[in-house]
Amino acid sequence: MSIAFGKALAVRETPIPGLIVLDLPVHGDARGWFKENWQREKMSATGIDLPDFGPVQNNISFNDAVGTTRGIHAEPWDKYVSVATGRIFGAWVDLREGESFGAVFTTELDPSTAIFVPRGVGNSYQTLEVDTAYTYLVNDHWSPDATYTFLNLADETAAIEWPIPLADVEISAKDKAHPRLAEVAPMPPKKILVTGANGQLGRALRHEFGENPWIEYATRADLDLTSAGLDDARRWRDYSAIINAAAYTKVDVAETPTGRTEAWAANVTAVAALARVASENGITLVHVSSDYVFDGTKDGAYSTVDPVSPLGVYGQTKAAGDAIVASVPRHYIVRTSWVIGDGNNFVRTMASLGDRGIDPRVVDDQFGRLSFTSDIAATIRRLLETGLPSGVYNVTGRGEHTSWFDIAREVFRLSGHDPERVSGVSTEAYFANASAPVSPRPRNSVLDVSDVAISEMSLERYLESHATS
């Protein structure tokens, strides 16, 4: 067996997206040879998108004879394939949904070469030397409940040019019986779970992602995030992302003994459970944060790196949830303010008051920007699809910041009512005679959105389509 010694660690892209060939340094002398078959730190430094590959199982297929042929099998996990001894001709066919479905790549592998095979790409090989050991790391445990996709080795569309004719080699009866490409059901993408699917943001996410088979929408009745059985509630390795749109948002009620317990359960305990599931299964966790994590005393907009200093129970629970999510290897913390969507909210309340002839008093010393749920949902989708680095992203409307008083007057104007009917009042005066606990509000809720471009819903468009529907 001839092995190329002394190669530098390098990567080569292939016509199949995500299928990457690696040249491995092999060091040899009279005693034999040595290689670092998998070295996460060095491979990560080359720019390969493998640092969070997270293998959990190592398999070896030993083949006695030349011509042993196996595959084509596409599995619901990623594989890192190499040859321990011997040499193979490998063929890979993209069996995932999408434009590259049916794309083929072939090459030879010896101990100085490896290949990363993404989930859903069919893997097959033919041995070119006796006593060939084909080894692969996978990032999920084998399961009979997993979804597999197969392709016939002799498929005419793939037209793989096997070095040794298939009629002359050892193939299992099962591999011979696999379907042709025209009959293959493509492997769907990993699932995305949306929690809190009936809330304002949850409904916007439904509209953004649609009713696709790879999107799952869950309410509290469907999935109890605080249940001891959460770890086994789903086959979590089948999920690429969890969008946590569930939260306790009764800001003032959170200041009561019962509300405090419920707020911590929903915004911290449940988030910690999701974070654990995400970390253990390589899932991206998207978590929605709030301007209430700040005390509102800053002179200027809050950036994504400003330290938190919540004033009330609700803000404290959101800040705690943020800290937990930040520990998940793959995460996005989407920080918003003044959320407006399909449901009960400030804008719809003001429009209703105007229609009913009620002249409201509205606080004029709290400043921020509206965040429309349609914009938040679109930004979340873009974060997941573009794979931006993990971290905090501020997502609100753009333009000059304003007060609740100014927004109320604009709602009246756009609704055909006299904005002078709205009068301003300080926060202290507004809550002076409150009969129930009131949460302290940040006076400055302005978030710096210079790092994320969003498609902005206007207040006028929102009122046309949502305010009185």
Catalytic residues: 73, 136
CB atoms within 10 A of CB 436: 9
Q: Pick left, alpha or beta for residue 182 (phi over 0 → left; psi -120 to 50 → alpha; otherwise beta).
A: alpha
The structure tokens listed for 412 are 């009246």
Residues written for the chain: 469
- Label residue 212 exposed, middle or buried (CB < 10 Å: 0-12, 13-18, 19+): exposed
The answer to whether residues 90 and 108 touch, using CB atoms and an 8 Å cutoff, is: yes
The answer to whether residues 456 and 398 touch, using CB atoms and an 8 Å cutoff, is: yes
Residues 6+ apart with CB under 8 A from 308: 293, 294, 319, 322
**223 to 215, 219, 288: CA distances (angstroms):** 15, 6, 18
